[in-house]
Chain A
Amino acid sequence: MLVHLGRVMVDVAVIGAGQTKYGNHQLGLKAMWAEAAENAFSSVDKDFEPRQVDEAFIGSVAFGGAQLGNTAALLTEHSGLDGIPVRRVENACASSGFALRDAWMAIKSGQADIVVAGGIEKMNDLSPERKRFWLGVSGDTEWERLAGLTFPGTYALMARRHFHEHDSSHDDLIHISVKNHMHGFENEHAHIRKQVSYEKAESGFMVADPLTLYDCCPTSDGASCVILAADHVARQFTEDPVWIQSSGAASDRLALHDRPSVTQLIATQKASKSAYSAAGLTANDIDLAEVHDCFTIAELMATEDLGFAEQGQGGVFAREGRGVRNEGSVCINPSGGLKSKGHPLGATGTGQAVEVFKQLRGTVEGARQVRDAETALTHNVGGSGATCAVHIFGRERNG
């Protein structure tokens, strides 16, 4: 139990978590959110009612403009969360990672006992021209977008530079793609449930040289929802909570060219350093990590920035299969990651928490279970690295 400024600070547990399947949904916004919330509510082991929730934070980028204002109020209205303080949290693809952090802080501060954190995005119901809404919408509009950059291009620049500076190549990215499709194959919530061979991944058409289709996550619809509770009420709802041992977050320059390095995400390094420090852990203590692999190079760099591999050794890490479930030193993206599970921008951060909640409680599909999982990490990145939230979860309470 932490003591801060002479006051006892509470610990925070995840008592329930649920999501929709990710993919190309027929459901609209309200129905998708309701499904994720319903799944989260019903996952609570003991009696739980939405009216017990004190506050809600919901991440989303913008639904392609469908509901830009008062998004959270619209959604909570349709999930039995009437009347409570709610707000939309927007930090690009890290929106719900930060919603989770805000929910955690609300309980930590003593202002709330039970808080919902969630996220949602509907990306596939736009016309082809309108779909370009999503391209580069979270980069530096004035200086990157007008140089033709969208995120595939930005990450392609990182990849080529990484290959130039370090022992890495596109072959290493193929290993990541193959692994994540293997992990996601049996995930009933995954957008793309198919195994991909090395040869297949090698032959993908070029999206942004050197990144091919098999290096890029899909455009997904989806919603996710987790329910957090203060330690003094958590046991009312479950005897088997998952504890949030720490939360770290940071930001960096928005534009790639303004950063000191284009082969490291400083925000990830800072956020994870803060999270490890607060939890009293190191990367070696992590059994599984849901890592933000919007592009395979993002996972390669994340394994370095999160400390699973030395700086510059992410290619070797991938090549040697050190992130493969129950084979490597740590399981990277047991859900299939953004590459296979999908990436409904605003839903991704809390979607990672849903996977971790189930993995640590041993309730995922049997073949996907990471053995002896005690400690897990989620890593949610906004855009090309301007924002990052890292959370560490455990079966045990922190401290």
Chain B
Amino acid sequence: MLEVLVLHALFIFLGGSGMDDYSHWKGYLAVMNEESLFIQSPYIHEDIIVYGPDSDSTTMAIAGIQYMHSKGHLIESIHLSDSIDARTVFLATGADSMAHNADLKFGDVAWDLLGGDEATLVVAKCNAQSYDFKAPTDVEIIDTDFFKDMNEAWRLEQEVHHVSQGAYVSTSQYLEGAPARLSLTSQKIGDRMIWPPRQLDENGLRIPKESHTLLPEAQVESWTKLSAAGAPSEFSLRAPILGGIQTLLVRFEQGPRGVFLVTDDLEYSPKIGDTVHFAVRRIYAQEGMIRYGLKALPKR
């Protein structure tokens, strides 16, 4: 029996397993039990559930909250553990937390996000007691060398002195673009959606701030896989382990185009015309700060 210890409640895996209730959600496995969600990484290393190459507790927390939103459970505020980047969660989902908003009072927060020792999370109402979840079977064993090399690369990348060569995105510039990068917020002029955000229009007038959101689904217009040697320095530690990095040029249904990396370095051979959707993942780290953004994953 696999136990997931949490802050306020006990969630227990039953010894049996089955996939009936689990759904694939943004690269994770998710299952609901009444108003509670259990979400986990699909990767296993030495019998332990581990995060994939570009996932962490923040990205899975975002996926979990988004799952709840998709099921009609609006999470306006949530308790988060210290390991989760509360600002990124807020920008990606709108769910506030005491770690992000000092004015928020403990008693006003209705939801908990509870982490386990492994790459598992539970999203539940604060008054939840305990629920049982069957362990999923649709998991993938991750190669030991790959797992260790990726973790070491991320560790090095997150060191404070790690700064990219050449082009450089400052922290303030990253944060300025974060809403559009994390949740596809876009501007609108008439019927035209604009993403990523722009400043002035052809008439020299200020384009209104982002007030709409692009539907998180797009079609592949082109793609490439860049060899490790040709990758930007932000990816120079991980690209050789991944055997290169794969980028898609996609067009959203509402018009704008964008370029996105592929989630978790999936074994995916894209074709022009494929439909993809998006999940928040780690993009790279610089000066001790992980920068998050959307990556594409093929629609199953």
Nearest CB on B from A327, distance (A): 33
The CA of A206 and the CA of B245, in the complex, are separated in Å by 13
Nearest CB on B from A255, distance (A): 8
B residues near A211, Cβ cutoff 8 Å: 224
Size of the chain A interface, CB-CB below 8 angstroms: 39
Is A330 engaged at the interface, CB distance under 8 Å to the other chain? no
Q: A152 — nearest CB in chain B belongs to which residue?
A: B230
B228-269 with Cβ < 8 A to chain A: 229-236, 245-247, 249, 256-261
Stretch among B13-21, B42-50, B160-168 lining the A interface: B160-168
B residues near A132, Cβ cutoff 8 Å: 164-166, 232-233, 236
B residues near A208, Cβ cutoff 8 Å: 224-227, 230
The CA of A205 and the CA of B227, in the complex, are separated in Å by 10
Interface pair B259/A142, CB less than 8 Å apart: no
B residues near A144, Cβ cutoff 8 Å: 259
- The CB with the most chain B CB atoms within 10 A, among A142, A152, A158, A262, is that of A142
A residues near B104, Cβ cutoff 8 Å: none
A residues near B256, Cβ cutoff 8 Å: 257
Given known contacts A134-B166, A148-B245, A257-B257, A160 and B236 CB-to-CB distance under 8 angstroms: no
Q: Which of B167, B168, B174, B258 contacts A257 (CB 8 A)?
A: B258
Is B196 engaged at the interface, CB distance under 8 Å to the other chain? yes
Interface pair B259/A135, CB less than 8 Å apart: no
Nearest CB on A from B189, distance (A): 15
Q: Which of A129, A152, A164 contacts B233 (CB 8 A)?
A: A129
Q: Which of A148, A209, A255 contacts B235 (CB 8 A)?
A: A148
The CA of A130 and the CA of B284, in the complex, are separated in Å by 18
Is B179 engaged at the interface, CB distance under 8 Å to the other chain? no
The CA of A330 and the CA of B135, in the complex, are separated in Å by 68
Is B188 engaged at the interface, CB distance under 8 Å to the other chain? no
Is B100 engaged at the interface, CB distance under 8 Å to the other chain? no
Q: Which of A130, A146, A157 contacts B249 (CB 8 A)?
A: A157
B258-300 with Cβ < 8 A to chain A: 258-261, 272, 283-284, 291, 293
Size of the chain B interface, CB-CB below 8 angstroms: 40
Given known contacts A132-B232, A142-B169, A153-B230, A164 and B259 CB-to-CB distance under 8 angstroms: no
Interface pair A137/B223, CB less than 8 Å apart: no
B residues near A152, Cβ cutoff 8 Å: 226, 230
A residues near B169, Cβ cutoff 8 Å: 141-142, 145-146
The CA of A262 and the CA of B174, in the complex, are separated in Å by 26
Is A198 engaged at the interface, CB distance under 8 Å to the other chain? no
Interface pair A262/B221, CB less than 8 Å apart: yes
Q: Which of B226, B272, B283 contacts A146 (CB 8 A)?
A: B283
Is A147 engaged at the interface, CB distance under 8 Å to the other chain? yes
Interface pair A142/B173, CB less than 8 Å apart: yes
Interface pair B260/A156, CB less than 8 Å apart: no
- The CB with the most chain B CB atoms within 10 A, among A135, A147, A150, A255, is that of A147
Nearest CB on B from A270, distance (A): 15
Is A149 engaged at the interface, CB distance under 8 Å to the other chain? yes
The CA of A255 and the CA of B196, in the complex, are separated in Å by 10
Is B158 engaged at the interface, CB distance under 8 Å to the other chain? no
Interface pair A145/B234, CB less than 8 Å apart: yes
Nearest CB on B from A351, distance (A): 23
Is A119 engaged at the interface, CB distance under 8 Å to the other chain? no
Is A59 engaged at the interface, CB distance under 8 Å to the other chain? no
Interface pair B177/A153, CB less than 8 Å apart: no
Interface pair A129/B234, CB less than 8 Å apart: no
Is A161 engaged at the interface, CB distance under 8 Å to the other chain? yes
Is B213 engaged at the interface, CB distance under 8 Å to the other chain? no
Interface pair B224/A153, CB less than 8 Å apart: yes
Is A334 engaged at the interface, CB distance under 8 Å to the other chain? no
Binary contact track B173-190/A, C-beta < 8 Å → 1, others 0: 110010000000000000
Q: B223 — nearest CB in chain A belongs to which residue?
A: A160
Interface pair B222/A161, CB less than 8 Å apart: yes
Interface pair B247/A146, CB less than 8 Å apart: no
Interface pair B165/A133, CB less than 8 Å apart: yes
B182-205 with Cβ < 8 A to chain A: 196
A residues near B225, Cβ cutoff 8 Å: 206, 208-209
- The CB with the most chain A CB atoms within 10 A, among B164, B166, B227, B256, is that of B166
Beyond the given pairs A153-B226, A160-B272, A257-B249, 15 more chain A to chain B contacts, judged by CB atoms under 8 angstroms and listed by A's residue number, are A129-B233, A134-B166, A135-B233, A136-B167, A139-B167, A142-B196, A148-B261, A149-B247, A150-B230, A150-B231, A152-B226, A161-B222, A164-B222, A205-B227, A211-B224
Which residues of A approach B to under 8 Å, CB–CB?
129-130, 132-137, 139, 141-150, 152-153, 156-158, 160-161, 164, 205-211, 255-258, 262
Provide 14 A-B residue pairs closer than 8 Å at the C-beta atoms, listed in order of the A residue.
Answer: A129-B233, A132-B164, A133-B165, A133-B166, A134-B166, A137-B166, A141-B168, A143-B177, A146-B284, A148-B235, A149-B232, A150-B232, A158-B222, A164-B222
> 3 closest Cβ contacts across the A-B interface?
A156-B224, A257-B257, A133-B166
